[in-house]
C-alpha cells in the first residue's frame, strides 16, 4: 500500500509540473504589451558615450539660455540699445566661435564666446520684450513656456524615434529659411502693402513650424556627429540655442500681435459705444429742447 501511495504521489507531482500555467489576467497581459519606456528607448538608440555627450550639450544650452536672459534683462533695464548693434555683435561672436578650433585648450574661450553670443542675442530681443511687457507682461512667460515645451517635445521625439529619419527634412527646412530671408529683405526695401503685411504675418506661423522641425533635424544631427566621434558640445549647444531663440521670438511676436488686435477691437467697440451714447444724449437733449419750445408757444 505504501508503494502504491508513493507511485500515486509521483504521478500527481508529474502532472502538476507538466500542467499549463493558468491564464494571466488582462491587466498583466496589457502591461506586457505596453510601450517601452523613454529610458529604454534612449538606451536602445544611444550609446552611453552619446548619452554623456548629450548631457553636456543640454547643460551648455541651459548656460546659454541663462546668459540670454541676463542680456535681455540688462538691455531692458539699463542698456536699451538692443537692435542692430547687438545683432552685429552677436554675429561677430558667432564668427569667432566658428573659427576657433575645438579642443581642451580652447574649451574655456569657446564657452565664453557662446555666453557672449547668447547675451547679445538676448539683448537683441530687448525691443520685442519691452513691447510685450507694455501690452501684457504675462506674454513673455507664456511664450517662453511654449517654446520650451515645443523644444523639449521635438528634441525628445528625435532621440527616441528611428535615427537619421529627420535628416531628410534638411533641404526643405533650409529652403524655407532662405525664402523667409528674401521675404524680409523685400519687406525692408519695398513699401509695406497689404499683401506684404499678410505675407509677414504668415511667416510668423510658418517660421514657428520650420524651427520646430530644425529642432528635430539638429538633435539627430548631433547624435550622428557624436556617434562618429565628435565631442564639440559647445557648437552643438549653439545650434540648439539658435532654434530655441527663434521659436521663442516667433511665439512672442504672435502673442503680442494677437493681444494688440484684441486690444484694438476692444478699444474700437468702446469708441463705438461712446459715440452711440453721445448720439442718444444729443437726441434726448434735442427732445427736451423741442418740448421746452412747445411749452413757450
User: So what's the pLDDT on residue 151?
Assistant: 93
| Domain count within the chain | 1
Residue 55: inside a domain: yes
216 pLDDT higher than 80: yes
User: So what's the pLDDT on residue 3?
Assistant: 45
CA distances from 138 to 66, 71, 80, 208, 244 (A): 19, 19, 21, 20, 19
36 pLDDT higher than 70: no
pTM, rounded to two decimals: 0.73
Say which residue, 46 or 49, is predicted with more confidence.
Answer: 49
C-beta atoms surrounding 94 within 10 Å: 18
153 pLDDT higher than 50: yes
Rounded to an integer, what distance in angstroms lies between the CA atom of residue 151 and that of residue 244? 7
Residue 4: inside a domain: no
Question: Model confidence at 160, in pLDDT bands (50, 70, 90)?
Answer: confident
Residue 292: inside a domain: no
58-67, 100-109, 222-231, 278-287: least confidently modelled range: 278-287
Say which residue, 154 or 194, is predicted with more confidence.
Answer: 154
What mean pLDDT value characterizes the chain?
A: 76
Residue 272: inside a domain: no
245 pLDDT higher than 80: yes
Helix (H, G, I), strand (E, B) or coil at 252: helix
User: So what's the pLDDT on residue 204?
Assistant: 80
CA distances from 143 to 4, 88, 247 (A): 83, 25, 9
CA distances from 67 to 55, 121, 199, 250 (A): 19, 9, 33, 20
Residue 64: inside a domain: yes
User: So what's the pLDDT on residue 207?
Assistant: 84
133 pLDDT higher than 70: yes
267 pLDDT higher than 90: no
Residue 236: inside a domain: yes
User: Domain residues for 120?
Assistant: 46-258
Say which residue, 194 or 269, is predicted with more confidence.
Answer: 194
Mean pLDDT across 9-18: 47
239 pLDDT higher than 60: yes
Residue 291: inside a domain: no
Say which residue, 203 or 104, is predicted with more confidence.
Answer: 104
How many percent of the chain have pLDDT more than 70?
72
103 pLDDT higher than 80: yes
User: So what's the pLDDT on residue 185?
Assistant: 79
Say which residue, 252 or 19, is predicted with more confidence.
Answer: 252
Residue 295: inside a domain: no
Amino acid at each position: 500500500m505504501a508503494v502504491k501511495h508513493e507511485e500515486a504521489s509521483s504521478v500527481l507531482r508529474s502532472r502538476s509540473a507538466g500542467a499549463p500555467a493558468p491564464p494571466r489576467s488582462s491587466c498583466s497581459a496589457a502591461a506586457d504589451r505596453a510601450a517601452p519606456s523613454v529610458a529604454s528607448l534612449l538606451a536602445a538608440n544611444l550609446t552611453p558615450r552619446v548619452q554623456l555627450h548629450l548631457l553636456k550639450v543640454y547643460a551648455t544650452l541651459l548656460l546659454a539660455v541663462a546668459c540670454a536672459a541676463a542680456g535681455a534683462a540688462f538691455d531692458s533695464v539699463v542698456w536699451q540699445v538692443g537692435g542692430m548693434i547687438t545683432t552685429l555683435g552677436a554675429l561677430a561672436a558667432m564668427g569667432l566661435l566658428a573659427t576657433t578650433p575645438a579642443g581642451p585648450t580652447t574649451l574655456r574661450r569657446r564657452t565664453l564666446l557662446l555666453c557672449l553670443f547668447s547675451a547679445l542675442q538676448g539683448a537683441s530681443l530687448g525691443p520685442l520684450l519691452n513691447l510685450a511687457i507694455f501690452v501684457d507682461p504675462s506674454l513673455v512667460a507664456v511664450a517662453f513656456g511654449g517654446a520650451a515645451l515645443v523644444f523639449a517635445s521635438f528634441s525628445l521625439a528625435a532621440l527616441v524615434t528611428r535615427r537619421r529619419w529627420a535628416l531628410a527634412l534638411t533641404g526643405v527646412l533650409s529652403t524655407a529659411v532662405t525664402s523667409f530671408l528674401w521675404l524680409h529683405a523685400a519687406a525692408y526695401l519695398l513699401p509695406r502693402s497689404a499683401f506684404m503685411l499678410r505675407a509677414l504675418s504668415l511667416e510668423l506661423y510658418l517660421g514657428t513650424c520650420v524651427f520646430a522641425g530644425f529642432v528635430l533635424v539638429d538633435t539627430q544631427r548631433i547624435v550622428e556627429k557624436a556617434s562618429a566621434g565628435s565631442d564639440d558640445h559647445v557648437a552643438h549647444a549653439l545650434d540648439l540655442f539658435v532654434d530655441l531663440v527663434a521659436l521663442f521670438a516667433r511665439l512672442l511676436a504672435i502673442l503680442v500681435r494677437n493681444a494688440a488686435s484684441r486690444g484694438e477691437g476692444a478699444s474700437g467697440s468702446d469708441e463705438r459705444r461712446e459715440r452711440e451714447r453721445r448720439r442718444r444724449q444729443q437726441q434726448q437733449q434735442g427732445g427736451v429742447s423741442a418740448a421746452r419750445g412747445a411749452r413757450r408757444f
